[in-house]
Amino acid sequence: MTEAVVLVAGRGSRLQELTEDRPKCLIEIGGKPIINWILGALRRNGLTGITLVGGYRADLLPVEGVAKRLNVRWEETNMVATLLCADDILRAHPTIVSYGDILYAPTAIQSLLCAREDIAITYDRAWLELWQARFTDPLDDAETFHEEGGLLRAIGSRASSVNDIHGQYMGLLRFTPAGWLRVRAVLDTQSQARIDRLDMTSLLSLLLAHGERIAAIPVDGGWLEVDNQTDLSLARRIAASPPGTFHHDWRAA
In the chain, where the domains are located: 3-252
pLDDT digits (tens, 9 = 90+) for 204-242: 999 999 999 999 999 998 899 999 999 999 999 888 887
Please count the other Cβ atoms lying within 10 Å of the Cβ belonging to residue 225: 19
Report pLDDT digits (tens) over 124-147: 999 998 899 899 998 988 899 999
CA atoms of 45 and 73, how far apart (whole Å): 32
**Distance (Å) of CA 165 to CA 129, 183, 192, 198, 225:** 13, 25, 31, 22, 18
- Whether the model clears a pTM of 0.75, i.e. scores above it, the answer is yes
At 193, which helix (H) or strand (E)?
Answer: helix 192-197
Angstrom distance (rounded) from CA 15 to CA 240? 20
Q: Per-residue confidence at 17, pLDDT binned at 50, 70, 90? A: confident
Which CATH number is 3-252 given?
A: 3.90.550.10
**Residue 130 β-bridge partners:** none
User: Could you tell me the pLDDT band of residue 253, with boundaries at 50, 70 and 90?
Assistant: low
CB 213 within 8 A of CB 205: no
CA distance 38 to 207: 26
Q: Which helix (H) or strand (E) holds 201?
A: helix 200-209
Per-residue pLDDT band for 15 (boundaries 50, 70, 90) equals confident
Question: What angle do the packed helices 177-187 and 200-209 form, to 10 degrees?
Answer: 90
